[in-house]
Amino acid sequence: MTELPARRLMLVHAHPDDESINNGATMARYAAEGAHVTLVTCTLGERGEVIPDELRHLSGAALGGHRLGELRDAMRALGVTDFRLLGGAGRYCDSGMMGLPDNEDPGCFWQADVDQAAATLAEVILEVRPQVLVTYDENGGYGHPDHIQTHRVAMRAVELAAASGWDIPKVYWNRVPRSVVEESFARLDGDLAGLPFDKAGAVDDVPGVVDDERITTVIDGTAYASAKAAAMRAHATQIAVAEPYFVLSNELAQPLFTTEYYELVRGERPGVRESDLFAGVGAGGAS
């Protein structure tokens, strides 16, 4: 068996671009430090709303294929070489926003059997044997069906992998402390006139906002700010960037965070905030 790298981080996301927005600085930091970083993306985001006029002809499978290319470019910017689509390209399609008829498509991720999808993800876990896994909370950060399903599948896969011999020591959910978001939007209000964006978003537009005491781990990715911004720019169908801000298809400006925040939900919660996702774990793990 090939010797595994000493530190192994897995991230499980719903669509291409989620990884760069939520964890781009973290991924770039750990990849640069020599950790093995694995990204598993559950859909190709075939129902995403396209921002640039010149790309708005893309939809369905054509958009999914284009977004896969964007994902490749983003991973190149972050220095990540191990990125996969759950079950292979096209196995699960984008479910659209909550409450739309798209949610009823039998091929969409929202309709997937959780145990079957989790078993597929568990195979990747057993191959990579990460000591750390990052995904969303039970609401998927902001209530998108694919994000909620990603949470369900990821957490179930952790259980299945543990039953098959690899018990991941630490599982984190993506978070942002409320105080940081509020301060960032206050700065945005003062900066908006100098930006190519017309309107600012609000705190509720940021996924995963929680009270500050929920934050267990803070990853300073300042040194990798340019890598994160480049990765976000690579997802040009979905994101327009004007550092240190960006917009999605709703055209509402929001902060681009280069310090990223997490809540430890599996593993021993630290008495003080961690500055390293791997704090307290060695090269092995629990098997």
* Numbered residues of the known binding site for Zn(2+): 15, 18, 147
- Cα torsion angle, 249, 236, 206, 97, sign: positive
Alpha-carbon distance 239 to 52, whole Å?
Answer: 9
To the nearest 10 degrees (0 to 180), the angle between helices 225-234 and 60-78 is 160
> Of 7, 21, 4, 9, whose CA–CA distance to 235 is shortest?
21
CB atoms under 10 Å from CB of 228, counted, come to 29
Is there a contact between 189 and 255 (Cβ–Cβ < 8 Å)?
A: no
Where residue 22 falls (left for φ over 0; alpha for ψ -120 to 50; beta otherwise) is: alpha
CA-nearest of 9, 126, 169 to 78 is 9
* Pairing assessment for the beta strands 82-85 and 252-255 based on DSSP bridges: unpaired
Q: Token match 């709703």: residue? A: 250
SS3 per-residue string spanning 129-189: CCCEEEECCCCCCCCCHHHHHHHHHHHHHHHHHHHCCCECCEEEEEEEEHHHHHHHHHHHH
Report the binding-site residues.
Answer: 15, 18, 147
- Contact predicate 43/12, CB 8 Å: no
